[in-house]
A = this chain, B = another copy of it.
């Protein structure tokens, strides 16, 4: 299922401070697997009630008549789920200071109750900071798959990473 991507496993090499990955470790094309995330009906409804109270995220009948074709999570909820998967895997690994935004988020397939999501986060761009030599920007392309290997969401997200010499 993950045959064509370069896979990373932390090998406890201890080469860098605390064994974390720094800016220099994020080579273009390197891919990190995050997840899984199991989606429940209750959380779809809860998020929608709080943040995205459109009928197609709250009501089965309205959802069936909508372009979603049935109850589905808010796209912003799927982004939040993705953040959780990314955080669970990457925060322990990465000497990071936080994200600064996202680019080109496209909700490709509805995310439904019972779906099981995973993320492939691939290093798409890296850029050393000119003004701040201790940091660099790593842009991840995050592809979110459901349990049938359909891509549900794609976006790019830049993360500020510490350089190992810092």
Interface residues of A (CB under 8 A from B): 47, 50-54, 56, 66-68, 74-77, 79-81, 83-84, 87-88, 91, 97-107, 155, 160
- Determine if B80 and A51 form an interchain contact, defined as CB atoms under 8 angstroms apart: yes
Asked whether A75 and B52 contact (CB < 8 A) given A67-B160, A80-B80, the answer is: no
Question: Copies per complex?
Answer: 2
Asked whether A79 and B81 contact (CB < 8 A) given A103-B104, A106-B100, A106-B101, the answer is: no
Bound CA–CA A56/B160 (angstroms): 14
- Determine if A76 and B75 form an interchain contact, defined as CB atoms under 8 angstroms apart: no
- Determine if A87 and B53 form an interchain contact, defined as CB atoms under 8 angstroms apart: yes
- Determine if A52 and B104 form an interchain contact, defined as CB atoms under 8 angstroms apart: no
Sampled A-B contacts (13; CB under 8 Å): A47-B80, A51-B87, A52-B84, A53-B88, A53-B91, A66-B98, A67-B98, A75-B101, A80-B80, A99-B107, A101-B107, A102-B102, A103-B103
